[in-house]
Structure 1
Amino acid sequence: MTTQEHHAEAIAWLEDFHRHMDALDSNLAIPKFYTDDCVLTFAANPAITGKADIINFFDSQFPHLESMKHTIKHVDVLPDRIYQEADIRYVAKGDPERKEISITGMAVFGRKPGDEKMSFFTVYLDPTALRERIMAVAAGSI
């Protein structure tokens, strides 16, 4: 494969990954895209190893969301990983205004070209605005 073909293949994989994750169903997305011993490091949280614990992590997060939508901004493909910049738009569950919270993030996917699953997933973002909105909705102050 040429560099251009590796890049196109990585973008197609990322789009499929985000389509599954944005559906907010970890039981569909995690088995499809994560290796059994995958290591997830999400923002300032401790690293999580293994599909079961990763599913539990997302199952604790997704119920607070009405929606999540990733827009890929930039992708770099290396032989053993993908670097991706993205904008993520969230709506907190129960938000009467359905206000979109936009967060820019950077992620590193431990995936070689052609692999179906990643061995690690490291996400760099600041979830403060989303966390504050979820708390305000839960408190009824919106």
Structure 2
Amino acid sequence: MKADPDQIHKQKVIAEVEQRSLTSVMNHTRWNELKEAIYLELRFPPAFQNKYVLEAEPYPLVFEQDVFYLGDWESLSTAWYNIEWVRVKPRLLEHTGKYTEPTLLNIEAEWVNLLQRLRIPYLKKEQDYWIYGYATATEFEQLGY
């Protein structure tokens, strides 16, 4: 009988989590509740950078500035168990014209209200919000609701 690739991948994730002494923060249900609330309640799905447990680098690699694109939260739905963290920018740059500066749309207040209502633990670093699937002991101690 051939081994199930999904099960092999999950076992690798579990082994890495244990080897790095990471603490589980989110589960499949909580990730789905967050995703659904984002699409139903926010003016736009915020852009994010994500880091998977088994990957060395986050995607996208560069995520320091505000962006012109929306977050594709559906793209994460098949790999929730593998997410180490998601870094969220609850802001969106909107083009207003060829010769004018872009407008900054900010949904930070709505974003924080959503996280708090769903009791999603998060960490704010500068202007971004970090949601951990798995956290180190230090990160876990810093998480708030």
TM-score by length of 2: 0.27
The structure having more radius of gyration, on CA atoms, is 2
Structure number with the higher strand fraction is: 1
Higher RCO structure (Cα 8 Å, ≥6 apart):
2
